Amino acid sequence: MAHDHAGMACPRCSGVKLRPVLTKQGVEIDYCDSCGGIWLDKGEIYYFSKSPKPLIKELRRAIKAAKPGMLASPKTGKPMRVTRLFDQVEIDYDPENLGIWLDPGELQQILKSSEAKLSLSLDAAAMQPSIERGADGKLNKQQLTAYAAAARALPNMFVRSASCLVMLYALLSALLIFCVEFAGLGAGVAVIIGVIIAAIQFLIGPWFMDLSLRWFYHCSFVDPGSLPEHLRNFVTRVTGARKMKFPRFGIIEDGAPNAFTYGHTPNNARIVITRGLFNLLDEDELEAVVAHEIGHATHWDMLIMTVANLVPLIAYYIYRTLIHIRSRGRDRSATARYGIALGAFVVYIISQYIVLWLSRTREYRADNFAGGVTRNPNHLSSALVKIGYGLAGQEKAKGSQKEKRSASGGRKANLEAIGALGIFDSGAARALAISSVGAAGAAGLDPEQIKGAMRWDLWNPWAKWYELNSTHPLIANRMEYLSRQAAQMGLDPLVVFDHKKPESYWDEFFVDLFVMFLPWILGLALLGAGIGLNDNRLLVLAISGFGAGMLSKTLFSYRGGAYPEMNVASLLKKVKVSGIRGVPCTIEGTVIGRGVPGLIWSEDFVIQDETGIMFLDYRQPIRIFEFLFGLLRRGQLEGERVVARGWYRRSPVPFVELKTLRGGGKTRRCYVYPLKLIFSVLLVGLGIFLTINS
């Protein structure tokens, strides 16, 4: 069976390539179809251990006692070393990247070992590609035609935009009518509210963004002549064909690759790109990203999204106004006013989701525009892979480590005012997940690594929830549309996702959801029981119930005991991970940039290890300490080698929430986890104390 990637060579079988296979534990490993051996990247063995701490200790001991071996590493081609685990199982390991090779017999021995406590079950059928490729790894004409024909049609942009705006303003009109008729607001007041907010949003929004970018993000606006010649010529061609002025370009001096556009009309659009785009993308990919932003401008997305965003803004303003109205004497309108305020808040929530739905539609259309004007949708696909997943070959590495800052945000907002018009969701732009050279080598992207990064988007139920609350579709979904567009143009798609999902992953999702709300479930259950039984002790004990739920949630989310040494590549393969379900880990690398590119008080980090790039989330219980750290001390670690210990999460882009960060001769600690534990225990104790004394 032909595969569309070069693959690593099996250490045992000459000429046989390893292929990625999912395990029942939701982790991808590399498997040899000929001999049945498996390769585990650094730290992957811990995913299969019920008790990682003893295994960590044993592996360290075994590595020290290792001797030269005969097999070559599938990663580097250099000789591996041989050692024994628990004095029973012989293994081969690569001293350069700490990967482990297990022959079939060795795998069975280690699984049977009571000391190892490992559980590893292959699910090879799940990784059988559903699309057979030719010997050259490409689809033939019939396959291209069939693949293109199966594409879902993009929604009509005019119809969806018009229907969306009609729905939004129908909701707003109904709300204003109720305000005038029942809440005592004059019709003129309601209209003035809308006009003022519209004028402020539309007229001063771009000017305010210009100032913010200059002051806080190290952004400078440049003349067209300062742009690379290929990009200047491309933009001239595209804008000339659509009779629009050459956009005003701003450059943010940060290595994080991102781009966005804003303005009033197509003729005064600003396109802002970070220095990281020039470092990471090739010429075709850079043009594709800029074409995406031009697509937003030519489609009048700036104006349409401003008009659409007015509805939730006005609804929220009305809600706040009605809640805070105070009248003299007897307030006969209070009931109606509070009822309408609640309705206004509901309209605000509904309209927010309608606006997000409209934004995602326009993202697909901007992608489609870029694929058309560049004449190759694969260019934007590969750019999205590099920007959103960080899967980039190192042939584009330029400049010093400090110049290649590689993250695009944090749990803080990154230019949220224009998030809907960026290359991808600013709120989700936590990190470049991985920047390694895959099996395809430095010349290009490895399709199998891309599919590995896409699996979380396409399989984990949490991904759908994050997309619902995002201005942008998931990158995997955008790539699917771009792949179909490429096939329609007779081009072989960059990647065709043909992996079969081994399980539903809904069981983990519902467990996560239950744990998330556990404090409220226990607290409200005891509160309800106290009210129903008229028992004051149960009412007071509800405090302990909430605390017990919070304690359970904290212990579940912040699993500790052992923090195995991992690398970015091995972390990214984990499908069963979420914002609630953290994976304890330790990674070592060099600090190469700030979490929010260009932002002078960004406290978060981006580090690069031997396999890729990861965002490090620096959190403290009180946010002012984060701000001060970012402004005054964070720069001390720029370019330093650090060891980060914490919990790997994905929501939806990968990041590590820090527990400790060691580097520069100091260990910096984050106190969110211990404070949550202390607060939970105090709540439990307080509830018990009050119950005993009630």
| Cα(578)–Cα(568) distance, integer angstroms | 16
For 376, 409, 654, the CA distances from 381, given in Å and listed in that order, are 9, 21, 19
Reported in sequence order, the residue ranges of 73-119 that DSSP labels E, i.e. its strands, are 79-85, 89-93, 100-102
Residue 628 domain-assigned?
A: yes
346 in the same domain as 402: yes
Do 355 and 305 contact (CB within 8 A), yes or no? yes
* Lowest model confidence (mean pLDDT) among 242-251, 363-372, 624-633, 666-675: 624-633
Q: Is the pLDDT of residue 434 over 50?
A: no
Q: Is the pLDDT of residue 673 over 90?
A: yes
Q: What average pLDDT score do residues 661-686 get? A: 94
| Cα(293)–Cα(301) distance, integer angstroms | 10
Which residues contact residue 528 at a Cβ distance below 8 angstroms, ignoring those fewer than 6 apart?
Answer: none
| Cα(518)–Cα(181) distance, integer angstroms | 42
Q: What average pLDDT score do residues 149-172 get? A: 59
Higher pLDDT, 570 or 585: 585
- pLDDT of amino acid 262: 85
- pLDDT of amino acid 441: 32
Residue 545: its H or E element: helix 536-557
Which of 293, 363, 467, 508 is labelled catalytic? 293
| 293 catalytic per annotation | yes
Return the residue matching tokens 């330029």.
398
The amino acid present at 135, given as its one-letter code, is A
- pLDDT of amino acid 415: 39
Residue 595 phi, psi (nearest 5): -65, -50
Q: Give the model confidence (pLDDT) of 587-615 as tens digits.
A: 998 887 777 666 777 788 878 787 777 88
In terms of C-beta density within 10 A (0-12 exposed, 13-18 middle, 19 or more buried), how is residue 658 classed?
buried
- pLDDT of amino acid 515: 96
Maximum mean pLDDT: which of 8-22, 33-47, 147-161, 536-550: 536-550
Structure confidence at residue 75 as a pLDDT band (50, 70, 90): confident
Residue of 473, 429, 474, 476 whose CA lies nearest to 451:
476
162 in the same domain as 87: no
Do 684 and 548 contact (CB within 8 A), yes or no? yes
Mean pLDDT for the chain overall: 79
Residue of 575, 579, 583 whose CA lies nearest to 648:
583
Residue 133 domain-assigned?
A: no
* Lowest model confidence (mean pLDDT) among 203-207, 231-235, 527-531: 203-207
547 in the same domain as 466: no
Q: Is the pLDDT of residue 389 over 50?
A: yes
Q: Is the pLDDT of residue 423 over 90?
A: no
476 in the same domain as 515: no
122 in the same domain as 56: yes
Of 453, 488, 523, which closes a domain?
A: 488
531 in the same domain as 427: no
Reported in sequence order, the residue ranges of 160-281 that DSSP labels E, i.e. its strands, are 219-222, 248-252, 259-262, 270-274
Q: Is the pLDDT of residue 443 over 50?
A: no
| Cα(441)–Cα(5) distance, integer angstroms | 10
- pLDDT of amino acid 197: 63
459 in the same domain as 521: no
466 in the same domain as 536: no
Q: Please state, for a pLDDT cut of 70, what percent of the chain lies above it.
A: 76
Q: Please state, for a pLDDT cut of 90, what percent of the chain lies above it.
A: 25
Q: Is the pLDDT of residue 379 over 90?
A: yes
Q: Tokens at residue 576, please?
A: 């069963």
Cα atoms in the 13 Å half-sphere on the side-chain side of 93: 25
- pLDDT of amino acid 143: 67
Of 80, 110, 128, which closes a domain?
A: 128
Boundaries of domain holding 32: 19-128
Residue count (the chain): 694
Residue 5 domain-assigned?
A: no
514 in the same domain as 408: no
Query: Cα 622 to the chain's mean position, in Å?
Result: 24
Higher pLDDT, 182 or 355: 355
Residue 687 domain-assigned?
A: yes
Return the residue matching tokens 């989700």.
428
Pairing, β 219-222 against β 248-252: antiparallel
In terms of C-beta density within 10 A (0-12 exposed, 13-18 middle, 19 or more buried), how is residue 235 classed?
buried
Residue of 598, 599, 604 whose CA lies nearest to 618:
604
Structure confidence at residue 63 as a pLDDT band (50, 70, 90): confident
- pLDDT of amino acid 151: 59
Residue 111 domain-assigned?
A: yes
* Lowest model confidence (mean pLDDT) among 36-40, 129-133, 239-243: 129-133
Q: Is the pLDDT of residue 394 over 50?
A: no
- pLDDT of amino acid 405: 33
Do 44 and 34 contact (CB within 8 A), yes or no? no
- pLDDT of amino acid 391: 53
Which residues contact residue 405 at a Cβ distance below 8 angstroms, ignoring those fewer than 6 apart?
Answer: 254, 255, 256, 276, 592, 593, 594, 597, 606
| Cα(21)–Cα(694) distance, integer angstroms | 59
Mark residue 344 as left, alpha or beta (left: phi above 0; alpha: psi -120 to 50; beta: remaining). alpha
164 in the same domain as 118: no
Q: Is the pLDDT of residue 438 over 50?
A: no
3-state percent helix, strand, coil for the chain, nearest multiple of 5: 50, 15, 35
The sign one gets for the Cα dihedral 9, 13, 19, 21 is negative
Q: Give the model confidence (pLDDT) of 344-372 as tens digits.
A: 788 888 888 888 888 888 899 999 999 99
Instruction: Decide: helix, strand or coil at residue 27.
Output: strand
* Lowest model confidence (mean pLDDT) among 54-63, 220-229, 259-268, 328-337: 328-337
Q: Is the pLDDT of residue 388 over 70?
A: yes
Residue 650 phi, psi (nearest 5): -145, 120
Residue 526 domain-assigned?
A: yes
Q: Give the model confidence (pLDDT) of 654-663 as tens digits.
A: 899 999 999 9
For 490, 629, 668, 689, the CA distances from 233, given in Å and listed in that order, are 26, 43, 48, 74
Q: What average pLDDT score do residues 290-303 get? A: 90
Residue 285 domain-assigned?
A: yes
Q: Is the pLDDT of residue 404 over 50?
A: no
For 282, 452, 485, 571, the CA distances from 21, given in Å and listed in that order, are 31, 10, 29, 16
Maximum mean pLDDT: which of 29-33, 46-50, 201-205, 578-582: 578-582
- pLDDT of amino acid 461: 93
Residue 152 domain-assigned?
A: no
Q: Give the model confidence (pLDDT) of 28-41 as tens digits.
A: 788 888 888 889 88
How many distinct structural domains can be found in the chain? 3
417 in the same domain as 385: yes
Of 488, 523, 542, which closes a domain?
A: 488
Return the residue matching tokens 């590893």.
120
| Cα(363)–Cα(679) distance, integer angstroms | 43
- pLDDT of amino acid 681: 95
Which residues contact residue 260 at a Cβ distance below 8 angstroms, ignoring those fewer than 6 apart?
Answer: 271, 272, 293, 415, 418, 419, 421, 422, 423, 426
Q: What average pLDDT score do residues 47-54 get? A: 81
- pLDDT of amino acid 173: 64
Rg (CA), the chain: 28
The sign one gets for the Cα dihedral 483, 489, 494, 500 is positive
Return the residue matching tokens 């991102």.
258
163 in the same domain as 304: yes
Q: Is the pLDDT of residue 160 over 60?
A: no
Higher pLDDT, 42 or 434: 42
CATH number, residue 675: 2.40.50.200
- pLDDT of amino acid 162: 57
| Cα(42)–Cα(65) distance, integer angstroms | 18
Cα atoms in the 13 Å half-sphere on the side-chain side of 260: 27
Return the residue matching tokens 């003299």.
328
Structure confidence at residue 408 as a pLDDT band (50, 70, 90): very low
The amino acid present at 389, given as its one-letter code, is Y
